Structure 1
C-alpha cells in the first residue's frame, strides 16, 4: 500500500492541474496507477514494448479527456 500512497498524491495533483475537481482527480489517479501497473505487468510477460507503448499512449489520451459535459481542460 505504501508504493500506491507514494504515487497517489502527486498523480492526483497532476489531474487537479489539468482542471479536474478533487473527487474526479482522485478517481483518475487511482485508475491511472492501476492501469499503469497492468501495462507494466503486460510488458514483463510479453516483452512487446511497441504494443504496450501504443496502449499507454491511448490510455493517456482517454484518462486526460474531460467527461462529457465536463469543464476539465485537455493538455
Structure 2
C-alpha cells in the first residue's frame, strides 16, 4: 500500500483532525483515509457493509442489532 507524507500541515488542521479521530475512535491515519475517501466521493466499503447487515437484520424482524447473537449471524452467512 502506498504511503503519503504531508509536510507543513497547519496546526489548526492537525488539531481538528486529531479531535475528530478521537471522537470516532480512529487513529490519525485511519481518520485521514476516511476523510479523503469522503471528499473524493469514494465509497467506504466497511460502512456500506455494516449498513447492509443492519438493514438485513431489520428485515428479518430483529428488534435491535445489539440483541442479535453474532454467532448465529456468522453461521448464517457462512452457510450461504
Which TM-score tier does this pair reach, normalised by the shorter chain? 0.3 to 0.5
Question: Could you state the TM-score of these two structures normalised by the residue count of structure 2?
Answer: 0.31
Q: Identify which of structures 1 and 2 has the higher relative contact order when contacts are C-alpha pairs closer than 8 Å and 6+ apart.
A: 1
- TM-score scaled by length of structure 1: 0.33
When you count helix as a share of all residues, which structure comes out higher? 1
Larger radius of gyration: 2
